[in-house]
Structure 1
Amino acid sequence: MKRSRVNEILLQGDEFIRSFGYAMPPFAYWTPAEFRARRAEARGLIDARLGWDVTDFGSEKFDAVGLFLFTVRNGNVADLAAGRGMLYAEKIMIARKDQVTPMHRHGVKAEDIINRGGGTLVLQLFGSDAEGALDREAGATVPVDGIVRSLPAGGILKLEPGESVTLLPGVWHTFWGEGADVLVGEVSTVNDDRTDNIFADPVGRFAEIEEDEDPVHLLVADYDAWLGEPS
């Protein structure tokens, strides 16, 4: 993706998020220069990979295959083994109308996916086989706002604004917006996007950026190059 396109998506996405009354944290609006100047005090958010994330999953067709995300808070993976500490994470996302997030599952993360407003959020679900691979003959049983629903293999679940679904590790899912763009909330256990996204087909989790202009804001995928390796 060209940086100019990423910048455009960031500005449009921020406007869409704010239109629902969702206020972003102050660091969301730091310039790259300000981030560099404050990186010592910002070590915690850098290590936790808080911030902007725009991806086309390597498709080079963001409008058709992609996702807009902002990680608001995130704990430490090491705390999960100890069973104490900050064991949770939160994201705000935008699933555009007819824009697909590729089929994937998580090995560790359990998540609530919440339609915060806009159109209908549509998910397609499958179960896993004994090795954790996508089983196209296996359905999925998931709580929808606490009410358990069983779907057949490839079953379609539609969430209207205010509705949510809980996806446990091993539930394969793909999703997109229907009717209009959707503001999507995610509340989960600790999130590690570098290791805990298993896709049904080979994709790139983070976009390859062509630097045709300066970034308006850094993406989490920019942190290593712009701010140094995380501690």
Structure 2
Amino acid sequence: MKRSRVNEIIREGDAFIRSFGYIMPPFAYWTPDELRTRRPDGIVGARLGWDITDFGQEKFDEFGLFLFTVRNGRQEDLASGKGMLYAEKIMISRKDQISPMHRHIVKAEDIINRGGGKLVLELFMPAEDGGIDRHKEVTVPTDGVVRKLPAGGLLKLDPGESVTLLPGVWHAFWGEGGDVLIGEVSTVNDDLSDNIFDQPIGRFSSIEEDEAPLHLLVSDYDKHIFGKV
């Protein structure tokens, strides 16, 4: 993706989020220089911040996701079983924009429709080898009520509704009828190693630097803050 397109998506996304009365934390608006100078481990180390991805496919409008990680605990907390064991994201799934089929090894998550169109999730249970079970009935809690669907069934969430996805449950999702503001509340988030995709795709975008970044993405931190290639 071109950096100019990323900057445009951030501006559009911020306006969409604000239209629902959700206010981003102050660090969301730090400039790249301010983030480099401050370099707070609670933000950079926890990989909080902007996350615009086309999953390496260069087709963001059809195949992508807007995310912002608001808070995140540490893997050490999970290992000890105490401390900050949770994470929160705010996301935007555009109308008919696919977030590809994937599962998590560790993370359990509540996916919440915060407003806009319907949020549609295609769901499968995991097979014994971790792959997709294309025959087993899907069972998921939705706001305290257990829902059952056939393998590959479509769960449609209206604004205010949510679903709990336990580790291993395969899911893809998109907006129907309009763009959707999505909340995610989960156990500690690790986007570097806890996303298993059905297809061989990447989690982050490759950025073409055609203009200066408006704000750094979490995938920029290693290069732009720590100078890693």
Separation in 2 of the partners of 1:158 and 1:229?
43
TM-score relative to the length of structure 2: 0.98
**Aligned residue number for residue 151 of structure 1:** 149
Which segments of structure 1 move beyond 4 Å, counting only runs of 4 or more?
Answer: none
AA of the residue aligned to 2:30? W
CA distance in 1, matches of 2:41, 2:81: 23
- Structure 1 residue 138, shift from structure 2 partner: 2.2
- The 1:229–1:165 alpha-carbon spacing in structure 2 relative to 1, beyond 3 Å, is farther
Give 1:229 shift.
7.3
Note if contact 1:58-1:203 (Cα within 8 Å) is conserved in structure 2: yes
**Residue 139 of structure 1: how far off its partner (Å):** 2.7
- For the residues of structure 1 that align with 2:118 and 2:98, how far apart are their CA atoms? 13
Q: Secondary structure at the match of 1:158?
A: strand
* Cα deviation, residue 158, structure 1: 0.2
The TM-score normalised by the length of structure 1 is: 0.97
2: CA distance between counterparts of 1:228 and 1:121?
37
Alpha-carbon distance, 1:109 to partner: 0.2
Distance of 2:148 and 2:119 partners within structure 1: 18
* 1:16 counterpart = 2:16: yes
- Identity within the alignment, %: 72
| 1:20-169 to 2 correspondences below 5 Å | 20-39=20-39, 42-169=40-167
Q: Structure 1, unaligned stretches of length 5 or more?
A: none
SS in structure 1 of the partner of residue 172 of structure 2: strand
Work out the CA distance in 2 between the residues paired with 1:166 and 1:108. Answer: 14
Which deviations, in whole Å up to 9, do the C-alpha atoms of 1:158-183 show, x marking residues without a partner? 00000000000010000000000000
Structure 2 residue identity aligned to 1:178? E
**CA-to-partner distance for each residue in 1:88-127, whole Å, 9 max, x for gaps?**
0000000000000000000000000000000000000001
**Partner Cα distance (1:132, 1:78) in 2:** 25
Query: What RMSD over aligned residues (CA atoms) do the two structures have, in Å?
Result: 1.0
**Partners of 1:31 and 1:136 in 2: CA distance:** 46
| Unaligned segments of structure 2, at least 5 residues | none
Contact 1:76-1:86 at 8 Å conserved across structures: yes
Distance (Å, rounded) in 2 between the aligned partners of 1:106 and 1:18:
29
Distance 2:28 2:79 in 1: 30
Distance (Å, rounded) in 1 between the aligned partners of 2:134 and 2:45? 37
SS in 2 for 1:222: helix
Aligned residues: 228
Q: In structure 1, what is the Cα distance between the partners aligned to 2:159 and 2:195?
A: 26
CA contact (8 A) 1:125 1:139 kept: no
SS at match of 1:17: helix
Could you tell me how far apart the structure 1 residues matched to 2:224 and 2:202 are?
20
CA distance in structure 2 between the partners assigned to 1:140 and 1:206 by the alignment: 29
Matched residue of 1:73: which SS? strand
